[in-house]
Amino acid sequence: MRLVTAVAGLSVIAACASTTGTASSPRRLVAHTSSGTVAGAHIGRDLQRFNAIPYAAPPTGTLRWQPPQPVQAWKGVKDGTRTAPRCPQNANPADSNPASTTEDCLYLNVTAPGAVPAGRRLPVMVWLHGGGFTQGAGGDYDARRLAEAGVVVVTVNYRLGIFGFLGHPALPGSGAFGLLDQQAALRWIRHNAAAFGGDPRNITLFGESAGAFSTCAQLTSPAAAGLFDKAIIQSGSCSMRQMGIDPAGGDTVWPSRQSGEQIAAAAAGQIGCTDAAQTMACLRRAPVAALLAAQQKIPATWAPSYGSDTLPLDPRRAVAEGRIHPVPLMVGTTAHEARYFVAMYFDGPGQPLSQQTYQQFLRTAFGKDAPRVAARYPVSTHASPSLAWAAIATDRGWTCPTRVGNRLLARKTPVYQYEFADRTAPRPAGFPVPAAFPLGAYHGGELPYLFDGPGAATDQPLSTSQRRLADQMIAHWTRFAATGDPNDPSLPRWKPLTSKSANHVRFLSSARSNGDGSTEHHCRFWDTRK
């Protein structure tokens, strides 16, 4: 039976008025927001959903590459049962991500219980999707299982790629439009959470991958002060390091504003916008398809850049200096983060790493230190050179920097650290990788334990033991959203991290263990190296 820890003793929401439906269609209901009335539908076990609610004006025409503007109030009842359009993005056959050329995309979706405690409001969880800052949508994530545990869940679209993170000296919000969209959504949610039974004073921001990096960025953005009360960061630490085989990429995953503007200039050149005085006018005239094609041709990371009012500091530096919003945090990684990327770029296309390529990667990434790294990660102890490199990239890039960053964060605020370690996690649906490649607890592997829908789709359903693990994780996530502490008498004890200790929880399919995992991931080895 599902653990429901956030709330009990439910009563009907007064903010929503139901209307009668037919036997073959869901009953419809309406919610009254500051922007207008929206119609939703009852789904599942006493849940309600409102889709495609605009939280900002369409970023089209002269509003392309401008901070988000307030949404214009509408008259009548807006249809909240349709699917919101995705923000502009290229298709990615590797994970079945569809393309979109629709700029009118700043929408959010709300999934909530159909009843709340009398005189009380439910915790609100705001999900920022992943996708490398270039793909994905809030509607890819069906949050009904989280909502069944007693929270209101909001999934958000934000501008992506060249539309979300273009940099130019003349642009207010340069390099951070996607972050500004997220902040606009949070402001809208603060004003309107009560319309869906939510508590506007109890908002948890959470996300995975690019959504986790976004959450990190908001944690250090002065403009995000007061917009959320807790945060959950899944596989996207503020302190993450580059995987190490691109010498020009530097160590940090966060581009500077100058770097972002150089990337944007290269993209403008692809389109033919070469007159410096007319660059922005030229880019605003460019069709969406042309901009997406230019984005595809630039071998660079489209991500939020620091050095602006929105993101003044590299978040890694901000964490080291304690310049964060001191809200309670849950932060974690998966045990085999980088296997997903090694599979996607090497083994999936039929080009697994050879022993020679592995040694070349070591020399490129670590120079004179390569023999020491090779001795710590000999191919003989892994099934292949690909898996040996995936272990290095996981430990050096994800797990160990995250734990260092968590100890820094713990100097300012409570931090609950975890690792998702189900080696048998269901593989992502449609992932073109040989079945023999062991993805293990891969990047994104925890998502099917929290969500349904395309963003968490797998090639097989959760097993009975995995379903129990999912119930436990959902209980921890929603309990944390309710109280800022994932602990509950019905759950195993989870101690908060301290600046010196390494307490964390490992989530496994058959058992759950406490420990620091430092030996398995060789964090003492990596902590002594830059």
Contact (Cβ atoms closer than 8 angstroms) between residue 381 and residue 473: no
By annotation, the residues acting in catalysis are 209, 337, 443
Residue 109 phi, psi (nearest 5) = -125, 140
DSSP track, 98-154? PPB--S---EEEEEEESEEETT--EEEEEEE--STTTS--GGG-B-HHHHHTT-EEE
Tell me, what amino acid is at 66? Q
Distance between CA atoms of 103 and 15, rounded to whole angstroms? 31
How far is C-alpha 485 from the geometric centre of its chain's CA atoms? 21
Maximum Cα–Cα distance for the chain, whole Å? 72
Distance between CA atoms of 294 and 285, rounded to whole angstroms? 14
Q: Exposed (0-12), middle (13-18) or buried (19+): which is 158, by Cβ within 10 Å?
A: buried
Smallest CA-to-CA distance from 315 within 161, 176, 163 is with 176
Tokens of 7: 């709330």
DSSP state of 382: S
Smallest CA-to-CA distance from 134 within 166, 110, 108, 104 is with 166
